[in-house]
Structure 1
Amino acid sequence: MEKVSKGIRVTGMQFEYDTQSPLFWDFSLNISPGSRCLLVGANGSGKTTLLRILAGKHMVGGKDVVQVLNGSAFHDTHLVCSGDLAYLGESWSKTVGCAGEIPLQGDFSAEHMIFGVEGVDPIRREKLIELLDIDLKWRMHKVSDGQRRRVQICMGLLHPFKVLLLDEVTVDLDVVARIDLLNYFKEECEQRGAIIVYATHIFDGLEDWATDLAYIQDGELNKTEKLSDLKELKNAGNLLSVVESWLRAETKIAKKKKTPIKTVAPKTTSFGASPFGASRHMGYNR
């Protein structure tokens, strides 16, 4: 009997780059199938790291701590190889199957890149090429950032994903391309029950697009809520104002916590400044 998908489930996650300052501590988050979840927070709050953990690019302790589609995001490599789990970030590269990362700025055509992805439904491919207004004759080292981004997005969407992780991927697109792409994402979620987790600082038009919101503050989940239940949004009318108020309040709290660094004058001894005298710096480095 096939296991019912539980979407994304993070339970009591701990993660650190530096053992002295863990980024996530006892972090939990649940995202159900069919959700379009906005990931919001200040720079350095942990949004990109969380997306990379969900994409299986970082290992965390415990196989069941980070579950994506009932599997371990890091250990179950078939999630990425099958195309069920897709990640698109800011860098000009794309993970294709299990082949690793390939650059998108060499002297080759958009056609070479897009048609080089195997096992693709040609109807889906043509739809994406048309949606993103891609000229297959584009030379990847000569086009603009926005055009190169369109090719990257197209390649990332060629396989029908079940979970799509987006890290500021629409930042280089013009208004029309961004709106068309967001509408396509919405259609994918509604028709196939796919999940999209989208980290962005551009909130225009997202009030009616997103279903859920997760606000991360310094590696902690400050708020997770259905967008339709968000009281601040009902009062403010637009999502930008709501997120701005959160981040400004966060900045004020951070400033209050900061204390001036006290400097202590070094103690003088009878040895004066002699280079042969012992010092606390020498003892510390020893």
Structure 2
Amino acid sequence: MSSEESSNPTRHKPDIVVRGLNYKFPDGTAGLHDINLELPAGSRTLLIGANGAGKTTLLRLLSGKKLAPSRSIFIAGVDPFAAGLEGVTYLGLEWVLNPIVRTDIAVPILLDSVGGLHYPERRDELVRILDIDLRWRMHMVSDGERRRVQLAMGLIRPWDVLLLDEITVDLDLLSRSNFLSWLRGETERRGATIVYATHILDNLVGWPTHLVHMHMGRVKEWGPMAKYHAEFDRYDNSGNSKLGELVLKWLKDDLAERGPRYHGGQAKTYESYDGKGGYGAEKPLAADEKEKEREAKDDWGWK
């Protein structure tokens, strides 16, 4: 273990504890309601729920991208917003919109700018796992190819807690399978912890250790896979795994409970002030607040 890794405060036990978390949107409406979770170090958790269930809001609070009430969130025993933990990596949709990755720039320059020179073995491993061509110019590649480079950029530096918000949507089946296998290895080799919000269940048979089911800003249930009799999963004649059948049932039940969206039952998501579907700044900021937000969002060291 390097000196940098050994000095990381989340290195030894990157567990996630959420106690009585409530969150209101800038206009005062409720977003999350009494969230309670305990996810152990080394776990791989799937965050399940319909669009608007509160998954992105929860992930952004866990990552310290948004301010949570005091003593409601602990990553390895530390408030992520107050501490700005180096070992916590969040990859969400606003990160995908970063204009840097759409300019005429070579892939090796991008990778080295975010830590590739310091972690050459991880850089090369991610290039292989994600099937990245180092000759690519970023303004000339497809969305799926660009997403592979972005994933490599976000994961080159060793992390202890990884929060993923539907970030593999553009990957082809093989790339996604290889990537999920690599993530499993990170949790098994290093004891790292992953929370992954996704609607795509391909390649996930046997992958998660825990499930969290969210609906309209609440956690309806959560626990290890053994609780759902899906610890040893398989696909059946319906084409679904036990996990797939369970998630399908949850979503059907949620829909029946919520009713049609046009009847006003839809949970509120982000306010959209900047034309990005609600991602980024959730409300207009004063100059000093903008500086704080810029520092909190500065994932790559770019200004």
After TM superposition, the score normalised by the length of structure 2 is: 0.76
Which has the larger helix fraction? 2
- SS for the counterpart of 2:185 is helix
- SS for the counterpart of 1:115 is helix
State how 1:87-102 maps to structure 2 within 5 Å: 87-93=90-96
Residue 112 of structure 2 is aligned to residue 105 of structure 1: no
Aligned position for 1:69: 76
Q: C-alpha offsets along residues 16-69 of structure 1, whole Å, 9 cap, x if unaligned?
A: 11454211122111110010000000100000111111111000121x211112
- SS for the counterpart of 2:159 is coil
Task: Measure, in 2, the Cα distance between the counterparts of 1:131 and 1:231.
Answer: 31
Change (3 A) 1:130 1:249: same
Deviation at 1:132, TM superposition (A): 0.9
Residue 250 of structure 2 is aligned to residue 246 of structure 1: yes
Change (3 A) 1:139 1:28: same
Whichever residue aligns with residue 117 of structure 1, its letter is: V
After TM superposition, the score normalised by the length of structure 1 is: 0.80
**Conserved in 2, the CA contact under 8 Å of 1:6 and 1:33?**
yes
Residue 116 of structure 2 is aligned to residue 115 of structure 1: no
State how 1:183-198 maps to structure 2 within 5 Å: 183-198=181-196
Task: Measure, in 2, the Cα distance between the counterparts of 1:169 and 1:256.
Answer: 28
Task: Measure, in 2, the Cα distance between the counterparts of 1:232 and 1:208.
Answer: 8
**Conserved in 1, the CA contact under 8 Å of 2:165 and 2:198?**
yes
Aligned position for 2:39: 31
Deviation at 1:139, TM superposition (A): 1.1
Whichever residue aligns with residue 91 of structure 1, its letter is: E
Task: Measure, in 1, the Cα distance between the counterparts of 2:202 and 2:39.
Answer: 23
Deviation at 1:127, TM superposition (A): 1.0
Deviation at 1:216, TM superposition (A): 0.5
**Conserved in 1, the CA contact under 8 Å of 2:18 and 2:74?**
yes
Change (3 A) 1:111 1:213: same
Task: Measure, in 2, the Cα distance between the counterparts of 1:256 and 1:127.
Answer: 46
Aligned position for 1:162: 160
Whichever residue aligns with residue 228 of structure 2, its letter is: L
- SS for the counterpart of 1:141 is helix
The number of aligned residues is 248
Task: Measure, in 2, the Cα distance between the counterparts of 1:192 and 1:102.
Answer: 32
**Runs of 5+ consecutive residues of structure 2 not aligned to the other structure:** 1-8, 265-303
Flag as ranges the 4+ runs of structure 1 deviating above 6 A. Answer: 232-236, 256-260
Change (3 A) 1:10 1:114: same
**Conserved in 1, the CA contact under 8 Å of 2:14 and 2:42?**
no
Deviation at 1:156, TM superposition (A): 0.9
Whichever residue aligns with residue 241 of structure 1, its letter is: E
Task: Measure, in 2, the Cα distance between the counterparts of 1:72 and 1:102.
Answer: 30
State how 1:1-286 maps to structure 2 within 5 Å: 5=13, 7-62=15-70, 64-77=71-84, 79=85, 82=86, 84-93=87-96, 103-118=100-115, 120-231=118-229, 237-255=241-259
Task: Measure, in 1, the Cα distance between the counterparts of 2:66 and 2:106.
Answer: 32
Change (3 A) 1:189 1:247: same
